[in-house]
Chain A
Amino acid sequence: MAYAPPADWSGTIGLVQIGSTKAEGGTRTISYRIGGNGGLPFIEPNGGLTRPLVAYELCDDPAYWSPLVLERLGATTADLASWARAAGAELGADLVRLYLTSTKRRGFDDFDAIGTAVRTALGATDLPLIVEGPNEPSIESEAFRRIGEAGEGERLLLGTAEAARYRSVAAAALAYHHAVIAQSPIDVNLAKQLNILLREIGVPHEQIVIDPYTGALGYGFEYSYSAMERIRYAALKGDADLAMPMISSAVDSLTIKEVRDAPPGEAHRTAVAWEVTTGLAAAVAGAAIVCVRHPDSVAPLKAALTATWGSA
């Protein structure tokens, strides 16, 4: 562009590896290096280097999942292997995010099942895997150890570290060489604080992905959008403690009132419009991975991102 204003950035977003191919010691057919941006997407030539990735979210215990997804996929959701296989082979996701919802059950203590679930997902898909562990303090230490172990060599992205609980997930990431999602409640300073905490216990920047928390469209999304813009701006201005790629998942999109109260026949299309719009907007604000749950959201979101960024 003839009139493109000069950029005034001193920072670059670090690269984080997700997934590990055979050549890299794992079994994935592809691995990603997310991040690396040295400017704002579109305006500067090195701003949005690669298309943001679309992660498809699924879980090991569908009792805790959106009825829309269960309705649409039917029996597939009852079998983790089929579901994980479908994510890549049928839906076309770039990576898979497994939520271990089985750990939400009262008195959960079947740690072998967690390891089995991670191995099942890894066996069923050859895409890189994100694993979302429990958020129950009494079980997380053992649970993350099992997750880390089951995914050793595969360079998982593990979730989720928060300011009040980050040691177990960080320990698993360090012991088994995985990356970590660091989630803070929609605030640039809290995001930075958590990254410093993680750094202090030895998690290097190249193993951290920032999750600034994404409110659903109409339910706080504007705060998340600005938090992401601020994080990216601070990083490009040289703040190394914020210079990591970001992940965005508007997890409430399928349960909001607009979807629940949609006129007959429109619930699915409303859910998809919500996920695609939120995902695209989060990507524009700087997210490197955007997550969806409705199976029909993957293709249109990927198409929108490809049209905007070019292929991955």
Chain B
Amino acid sequence: MALKALDIYKLLPKKNCKECGVPTCLTFAMKLASGKADIELCPYLDETAKSVLGASTRPPIRLVKVGVGERSFRVGDEFVFYRHEKTFYHQPAILFRISDLWDEATITGVVHEVGDFKLTRVGQDLLLNGVAIANDSGDPAAFGRAVAVVEANADLPEVLIADDPAALEAGLAHCGTFRPLLDGATEANAEAVCALAKKHGAPLVVRAPDFEPLVALVQRCIALGVPDLVLDLDAPTPAEFVERSSAVRQLAIARAVPELGYPVYYDCSRAGALAPDALALGILKFGSVLVAGPLSRPQTIAALTLRQNIYTDPQKPIQMTPGLYRIGNPGPESPVLMTVNFSLTFFTLQGYLESTRIPCYMLIVDTEGQSVLTAVAAGKLSETVVADAIRKFEVGDVVAHRKLIIPGYASPLSGAIEDATKWTVMVGPRDAADIGAFLETEWKG
């Protein structure tokens, strides 16, 4: 049961020493209550207070770091079941699976593919997160060789997939200091695998076929000194993954079962031909470390775009910088199309404008990232905003004409904009998809 900030405050030293990094004990209590601070930051707590607070103030899902350096990733530390309740914080890592049965050239190829892949969308770089090396051969020496090839080629986070502790040990010989995720501990091998994870300070996947044995195994691994755990729910089908993962998320954020308060792992390659679908379900339904066989480029960009969508903070619209943007090589007679600085509006319209092959200008005005419909309703898009933008970006100096095309949904403002700007307003289509036809008939015609 979560404690309220005031209940926590009563247990704090009330020194306001600031050593935890916030100005007062009350602020610290509020951060603890919302799961935003670690109890260990307070140097003056006695053991009793720590044990009372520890269980109920740690984030409901533990933050686990995999890898080191620039490409390392953190997963977990989530608070909600629905993204609209707040947001999802740490997007799932997507790693390509490499088999130790492959030859060196094939392994090298996939490692470079993962390392070099970059998709820039809406101003963000979307990356693949690392590689998972699987001990398909059953031979520890072959596994060690495969890990060595990966290490020689890139500085990427790794998952080591092997049931045999000897194989994990052979892999760790090459990457043990780089915080690889070990996959993993089962009822059968927990002692040996936990010893390896503890020795290397590595995070560990814990796998069991049902919740009771999983909880028992988590308790065992913690007792063996491995705190950074990731849960493999061992789902035989994508549907069962969704069912189990949803239940784990609900129980974890309710703090009902502390042993389930860890990020979730899913090896999508177990779904065979349905791996891309399993990956999408993993992204949608609370997966945090997702392994898939090398995917085609179309499948990869669809998955990364889905991940970007689902992990976009619904509280903050993505905004574009207001300004005058050029499509093609526009001249003084080219059309000027005004719209809002909501990035999706921008990129959608930009896409359709590019495909018309008619050079033009996009005048992006500041509506604080709201869409046209919302901005008109909320008064964020007004004749003043438009007039200011025309003046500020000196649109009158760039084009010789005085005609402004506005979005269809902004038509209620057309008269007011004409009055405020003295420009002739043309009301464009409501749907960006129709902009090409509009320019052909209304602008050229």
A274 to B300, CA, bound (A): 10
A181 to B298, CA, bound (A): 32
Of all chain A residues, the one with the shortest Cβ separation from B237 is: A307
A108 within 8 A of B: no
Find out whether the CB atom of B312 lies under 8 angstroms from the CB atom of A222. yes
A277 and B82 in contact, given A43-B243, A307-B274 (Cβ under 8 angstroms):
no
Give the residue of B274, B284, B296, B297 whose beta carbon is less than 8 angstroms from that of A284: B284
A42 within 8 A of B: yes
Give the residue of B82, B121, B237, B247 whose beta carbon is less than 8 angstroms from that of A218: B121
Q: Name the interface size band of chain A.
A: 35 or more
Find out whether the CB atom of A43 lies under 8 angstroms from the CB atom of B247. yes
* Interface residues as binary, A1-29 with B (CB distance below 8 Å gives 1, 0 otherwise): 11111000000000000000000000000
Give the residue of A1, A220, A263, A308 whose beta carbon is less than 8 angstroms from that of B277: A308
A226 to B80, CA, bound (A): 13
Interface of chain A residues 276 through 303 with chain B (CB within 8 A): 276-277, 280-281, 284, 303
Q: Name the interface size band of chain B.
A: 35 or more
Q: How far is the CB of B30 from chain A (nearest CB, A)?
A: 27
A5 to B248, CA, bound (A): 9
A217 to B305, CA, bound (A): 7
| A-side interface mostly | helix
A4 to B254, CA, bound (A): 12
Interface of chain B residues 6 through 61 with chain A (CB within 8 A): none
Find out whether the CB atom of A222 lies under 8 angstroms from the CB atom of B247. no
Q: Which residues of B contact A230 (CB under 8 A)?
A: 82, 84
Give the residue of A5, A42, A277, A304 whose beta carbon is less than 8 angstroms from that of B242: A42
A137 to B121, CA, bound (A): 37
A189 to B317, CA, bound (A): 19
Q: How far is the CB of A195 from chain B (nearest CB, A)?
A: 19
Interface of chain A residues 193 through 248 with chain B (CB within 8 A): 215, 217-223, 225-226, 229-230, 233
Find out whether the CB atom of A273 lies under 8 angstroms from the CB atom of B246. no
Q: How far is the CB of A75 from chain B (nearest CB, A)?
A: 25
Find out whether the CB atom of B84 lies under 8 angstroms from the CB atom of A226. yes
A176 to B67, CA, bound (A): 63
Find out whether the CB atom of B247 lies under 8 angstroms from the CB atom of A1. yes
B301 within 8 A of A: yes
A256 within 8 A of B: yes
A309 and B302 in contact, given A1-B211, A266-B297 (Cβ under 8 angstroms):
no
A258 within 8 A of B: yes
Q: Which residues of A contact B301 (CB under 8 A)?
A: 258, 270, 273
Q: How far is the CB of B7 from chain A (nearest CB, A)?
A: 25
A226 to B84, CA, bound (A): 6
Of all chain A residues, the one with the shortest Cβ separation from B297 is: A266
Interface of chain B residues 56 through 95 with chain A (CB within 8 A): 82-84
Find out whether the CB atom of A2 lies under 8 angstroms from the CB atom of B210. yes
The stretch among B157-165, B343-351, B362-370 that forms the contact with chain A is B343-351
Q: Which residues of B contact A266 (CB under 8 A)?
A: 297-298
A225 and B309 in contact, given A42-B243, A219-B347 (Cβ under 8 angstroms):
yes
Find out whether the CB atom of A277 lies under 8 angstroms from the CB atom of B247. no
* Interface residues as binary, A32-60 with B (CB distance below 8 Å gives 1, 0 otherwise): 00000000111100000000000000000
Find out whether the CB atom of B247 lies under 8 angstroms from the CB atom of A284. no
Q: Which residues of A contact B211 (CB under 8 A)?
A: 1-3
Q: Which residues of B contact A281 (CB under 8 A)?
A: 280, 284, 306
Find out whether the CB atom of A255 lies under 8 angstroms from the CB atom of B433. yes
Q: Which residues of A contact B302 (CB under 8 A)?
A: 217, 270, 273-274, 276-277
Q: How far is the CB of A84 from chain B (nearest CB, A)?
A: 24
A252 within 8 A of B: yes
Q: Which residues of B contact A41 (CB under 8 A)?
A: 242
Give the residue of A3, A218, A255, A273 whose beta carbon is less than 8 angstroms from that of B276: A273
Find out whether the CB atom of A218 lies under 8 angstroms from the CB atom of B284. no
A218 to B348, CA, bound (A): 10
A262 to B297, CA, bound (A): 10
A272 within 8 A of B: yes
Q: Which residues of A contact B309 (CB under 8 A)?
A: 217-218, 221-222, 225
B154 within 8 A of A: no
From A3, A255, A284, name the one whose CB has the most chain B CB atoms within 10 angstroms.
A3
Interface of chain B residues 211 through 269 with chain A (CB within 8 A): 211-212, 237-239, 242-244, 246-247, 250-251, 254, 256-257, 260
Q: Which residues of B contact A269 (CB under 8 A)?
A: 296, 298
Write 15 A-B pairs (CB below 8 A) sorted by A numbering.
Answer: A1-B211, A3-B257, A42-B246, A217-B309, A218-B122, A220-B348, A225-B310, A226-B84, A230-B82, A270-B301, A273-B301, A274-B298, A277-B303, A304-B277, A309-B239
**With contacts A218-B309, A233-B82, A273-B302 known, what are 7 further pairs, Cβ within 8 A?**
A42-B242, A218-B122, A223-B314, A226-B83, A273-B301, A274-B298, A304-B274
| B residues neighboring A (CB under 8 Å) | 82-84, 121-122, 210-212, 237-239, 242-244, 246-247, 250-251, 254, 256-257, 260, 271, 273-274, 276-277, 280-281, 284-285, 296-299, 301-303, 305-306, 308-310, 312, 314, 344, 347-348, 351-352, 354-355, 373, 433
